Amino acid sequence: MIVWLNGAFGAGKTSAARELIDLIPGSTLYDPELIGSTLRLLLPEKRLGEITDYQELPSWRRLVVDTAAALLMETGGPLVTPMALLRQDYRDEIFGALAARGIPVRHVLLRVEETILRERIAHREEVPGDPEASASVRRWCLDHLAAYRAALPWLTRDAHVLDVGGAPPREIAERVAVAVGEGAGACGIVQTPEPTRETLAAGVLLFDERDRVLLVDPTYKPGWEFPGGVVERGEPPTRAALREVAEELGVDLGTGAGLRLLVVDWEPPRPPGFGGLRLLFDGGLLTATDAGRLLLPAAELRGWRFVTEDEASVLLPAERFARLHWALRARAQGKAIDLEAGEPIAAVD
């Protein structure tokens, strides 16, 4: 288990975490900031110049999960992790990957009023003996208060919130220990096993009366997605598509006789992923009445919406948007398109 202490910079996460490991038997302090510091030493200056925060590095997010799994194998006890995680897509990626490994997370937000945060930051000496470096860190913390404010709506929905105010670290730790002991902060993310080989996946495009396409927002990975999922061993792709739509949306598309194949896309392996074939089917019209009856599994999907192609370009990761782009053209032309890595393998009219 991981107890993830989230919150703004200056909320007292690290101090509370040090106290918390005395209150949770067998626990170990795990600070992913050390991974960021290591990557700063290992990566070329050119790559570091392309980012403003090490959390932007896919390698950091992957190593956070890999290191947590390795530490749990070594220690066997819970990990206490003080780390500000303010981007929801990063939360999805990290917590989803932990869930896929069967590692439960207790997500706790230490909420502090901004006036208290600013006062704490103003008096922090980050680098003893180096006033200029300390001032630089304080500016960085203050600059990130806006990101914290923007993240509060989803953080307060996702995490167990403790209003800690100016409480001392020991008191905060005691409150966290009680909350975690009562099961608070449990992240009910679907545990999708990590693939060990190439996979075949089938998705379905459903459209409203304005010809907008339905997208869903998974809890366990970044970016929006089409309804659908991995085809199980021995399962026909059309049946898998029907099954996934029923499981994810509560929509019964019948026998699937109306499904029409739009694209077949070969997704190349991109470690740690293995790639494979991705199929997209046209599922037809979803009426406003049917859309009003959609039932989402809370552990898997947090929301849905109908979007235009332009709107989808913002919500979907690049490879999924490329697939949608060609699927819409296949739908207009009335014939399927073969893709490799999101690009047609033959000329398209």
Question: For 222-252, how does the pLDDT look when each residue is reduced to its tens digit (9 = 90+)?
Answer: 889 999 999 998 999 999 999 999 999 999 8
Q: Give pLDDT, residue 325.
A: 97
User: Which of 59-68, 83-92, 270-279, 331-340 is least confident?
Assistant: 270-279
What are the tokens at 254?
Answer: 């019948």
Full-model pTM: 0.77
User: Which of 111-115, 140-144, 213-217, 284-288 is least confident?
Assistant: 140-144
Helix or strand run (H / E) with residue 117:
helix 114-122
Q: Is the pLDDT of residue 127 over 90?
A: no
For the segment 261-270, the average pLDDT, to the nearest whole number, is: 94
Whole-number Å distance between alpha carbons of 108 and 104: 13
Q: Give pLDDT, residue 143.
A: 76
SS (HEC) of 248-289: HHCCCCCCCCCCEEEEEEEECCCCCCCCEEEEEEEEEECCHH
Taking only the tens place, the pLDDT of each residue in 165-175 is 889 999 999 99
What are the tokens at 196?
Answer: 């060990």
- How far, in Å, are 10, 151, 333 from residue 141 at the CA level? 8, 15, 53
- How far, in Å, are 21, 22, 70, 245, 287 from residue 227 at the CA level? 41, 45, 33, 6, 16
What are the DSSP calls for 127-195, one per residue?
STT-HHHHHHHHHHHHHTHHHHHHHHHHHHHHSEEEE-TT--HHHHHHHHHHHHHTTTTB------PPP
Q: For helices 33-42 and 58-75, what crossing angle results, to 10°?
A: 130
Read off the pLDDT band of 128 (50, 70, 90).
low
2-6 vs 79-82, strand pairing mode: parallel
Whole-number Å distance between alpha carbons of 43 and 49: 10
Average model confidence (pLDDT) for the chain?
90
Q: Give pLDDT, residue 320.
A: 94
What percent of the chain lies above the pLDDT cut of 90? Answer: 68
